[in-house]
A and B are shown apart, each in its own frame.
Chain A
């Protein structure tokens, strides 16, 4: 009974530290094994290189037509970077919530994972790590393509790297928490689970200032944008990368970098608490209704 002995020897406090860590790292390993299964390099190229470039290209063409080729305008940098970093939103959020669908419907392992002594939120966030890494490749490819072929005004020498990395890390934590909320919802429903992540990411795209300043929205819709933590996250990333250009836009120009960090930190904490509470509530409901191991075969 060596395992049982191991379990009983550990204090509750030790387990509270070890279980989340091993859930996270094992899930990250599993996620990477799944995501990096590039047995078909063509598919990998399509998903990680061609798809993001094609998405950016559509935006660039539309921008070129509307502005009659004003690629030197700061607006172009604003749009291009917002669009590039928005790749993280779908990838990280979906990466976390998709693990529920993948394990339940595809691999049929969810019930075995659920009855193991794991920390479910850490497991799910761990599964999202691989999607974060592949999204990073897509973001880098998109920005590099912009710099090489579209004269994107980004000087790597003037980038505020500490601010950029801090903002990126905070944003990823925020997205993981949002993914956790989606994972909870995914546990509860059978229909349309495949589209939830995309639908939420698509809806937030409009209200987060990713591709246009919030001033473009009607007055009554702007509060939605200001309530979205993604708005502050993208603003911070832009300021870190192209400070002068980003600050020339009116939306948040009156807010300092420190204030932006404060707002983002506060909203991330709120979303973190909400994410855990919502996931636990959904998990409880799913257990009450017998949905944890239900395979819908949809």
Chain B
């Protein structure tokens, strides 16, 4: 196995010029800022972040679809700017949530056509197509026109398109987006099995599903507003919060008290509030367990009943909150991708 990293970036920056701005004062959007990562071969590396964080932009740069503005990036040891053709022979990509494909071709024809671009002999291509379609549960649709497939099945066809060429480095951009729960689970299992089959394979996977990142990835980089905030094994990332206390409280509705009251309590790192029918839930990341007493005192002082209290282990979501100060959902609500 080669010692050259599968992916390497060095202070990679990508700035988009936004149309509509004055020529003398063009608007700019920094999609990636000084991103430096290194992914060794045989690793399943995850990029975790909300929509608009820069995950897809990074994949576009690494797959040679987009030129970097500053910095350098290498895939399989080749420079994305100077040697894109060398990279293209060694990679593939699957983007979730889209229904690309030639609708008038059958599933087999669509896949066969792409295999020819990679120089795979027809017989070998047909063998792989059949095998992979069986694995993803599309075996009985091999001769169906892709226009007759549902969007979920089309996505499975595209997943086969990505894996079929057996790339050295595979880029999966939100591969389970738009899939139902069962199909997403099957795809995750397939991805993990594919990685376990060979030490020569590397995957860079983007997701905003914490569970997906935790289940699949050997290492995860947390990205927000174009910057990599942390990069480590999921367990190591969560260990950063080992000292913190994370509590889930179910209470009676907040009357006579605003949620902001809790933010002002010393030792509360973060808290979220959700109101449901007849009750409310509070999630706290506290500096230490002792802070909980102050929180509970506030509830008692305002005659709010505690219905349930649960302490839980930190998740990647908590790590994200710890780093960004907001949950992914809150970031997404405040920004447009």
Residue of A nearest to B164 (CB): A3
From B57-65, B261-269, B317-325, give the one contacting chain A: B57-65
From A115-123, A199-207, A248-256, give the one contacting chain B: A115-123
A contact residues around B60 at 8 Å (CB): 290, 293
Known contacts A4-B90, A118-B117: A287-B67 contact under CB 8 Å? yes
Cross-chain contact B16 with A290 (CB below 8 angstroms) = yes
Cross-chain contact B166 with A18 (CB below 8 angstroms) = no
Cross-chain contact B65 with A26 (CB below 8 angstroms) = no
Alpha-carbon separation in the docked complex, A287 to B60 (Å): 10
From A28-36, A47-55, A90-98, give the one contacting chain B: A28-36
Any chain B CB within 8 A of the CB of A73?
Answer: no
Range of interface residues on B (Cβ < 8 Å): 35 or more
Cross-chain contact B166 with A26 (CB below 8 angstroms) = no
Alpha-carbon separation in the docked complex, A145 to B198 (Å): 64
Per a CB cutoff under 8 Å, which of A108, A109, A117 touches B118?
A117
B contact residues around A3 at 8 Å (CB): 118-120, 165-167
Cross-chain contact A115 with B90 (CB below 8 angstroms) = no
Cross-chain contact B67 with A116 (CB below 8 angstroms) = no
A contact residues around B116 at 8 Å (CB): 22, 25-26
Alpha-carbon separation in the docked complex, A23 to B198 (Å): 29
Alpha-carbon separation in the docked complex, A18 to B124 (Å): 18
Any chain A CB within 8 A of the CB of B109?
Answer: yes
Known contacts A287-B67, A288-B67: A117-B198 contact under CB 8 Å? no
Any chain B CB within 8 A of the CB of A57?
Answer: no
Cross-chain contact A116 with B88 (CB below 8 angstroms) = yes
Cross-chain contact B117 with A1 (CB below 8 angstroms) = no
Chain A interfacial residues counted at CB < 8 A: 36
Any chain B CB within 8 A of the CB of A7?
Answer: yes
Any chain B CB within 8 A of the CB of A159?
Answer: no
8 Å CB contacts to A: which residues of B102-138? 102-105, 109, 113-114, 116-120, 124
Known contacts A108-B98, A287-B67: A29-B119 contact under CB 8 Å? no
CB distance from A116 to the nearest CB of B (A): 4
Any chain A CB within 8 A of the CB of B91?
Answer: yes
Per a CB cutoff under 8 Å, which of B89, B98, B105, B124 touches A117?
B89
Per a CB cutoff under 8 Å, which of A4, A10, A117 touches B85?
A117
8 Å CB contacts to B: which residues of A36-67? 37
Alpha-carbon separation in the docked complex, A109 to B94 (Å): 11
Contact with B along A92-118 (1 / 0, CB 8 A): 000000000000000111011111111
Residue of A nearest to B94 (CB): A112
Alpha-carbon separation in the docked complex, A32 to B167 (Å): 29
A contact residues around B102 at 8 Å (CB): 30, 33-34, 107, 109
Cross-chain contact A117 with B119 (CB below 8 angstroms) = yes
Alpha-carbon separation in the docked complex, A102 to B89 (Å): 24
Any chain A CB within 8 A of the CB of B224?
Answer: no
Alpha-carbon separation in the docked complex, A19 to B89 (Å): 11
Any chain B CB within 8 A of the CB of A6?
Answer: yes
CB distance from B222 to the nearest CB of A (A): 24
CB distance from B118 to the nearest CB of A (A): 6
Any chain B CB within 8 A of the CB of A2?
Answer: yes
Contact with B along A263-295 (1 / 0, CB 8 A): 000000000000000000000100111101100
A contact residues around B109 at 8 Å (CB): 33
B contact residues around A33 at 8 Å (CB): 102, 104-105, 109
Cross-chain contact B113 with A26 (CB below 8 angstroms) = yes
Per a CB cutoff under 8 Å, which of A4, A25, A112, A284 touches B93?
A112
Contact with A along B79-98 (1 / 0, CB 8 A): 00000010011111101001
CB distance from A199 to the nearest CB of B (A): 23
CB distance from B224 to the nearest CB of A (A): 20
B contact residues around A111 at 8 Å (CB): 63, 65, 93, 95
8 Å CB contacts to B: which residues of A1-27? 1-4, 6-7, 10, 18-19, 22-23, 25-26
Cross-chain contact B120 with A1 (CB below 8 angstroms) = no
Per a CB cutoff under 8 Å, which of A19, A23, A115, A117 touches B65?
A115
Alpha-carbon separation in the docked complex, A33 to B17 (Å): 39
A contact residues around B17 at 8 Å (CB): 289
Cross-chain contact A4 with B168 (CB below 8 angstroms) = yes
Per a CB cutoff under 8 Å, which of B63, B65, B166 touches A1?
B166
Alpha-carbon separation in the docked complex, A23 to B120 (Å): 13
Known contacts A4-B200, A112-B114: A107-B100 contact under CB 8 Å? yes
17 extra interchain contacts, Cβ-Cβ under 8 A, other than A4-B168, A287-B64, A292-B66?
Answer: A3-B118, A3-B120, A7-B90, A10-B119, A30-B102, A107-B100, A107-B102, A107-B103, A109-B101, A113-B117, A116-B114, A117-B117, A118-B117, A284-B67, A287-B66, A290-B16, A290-B60
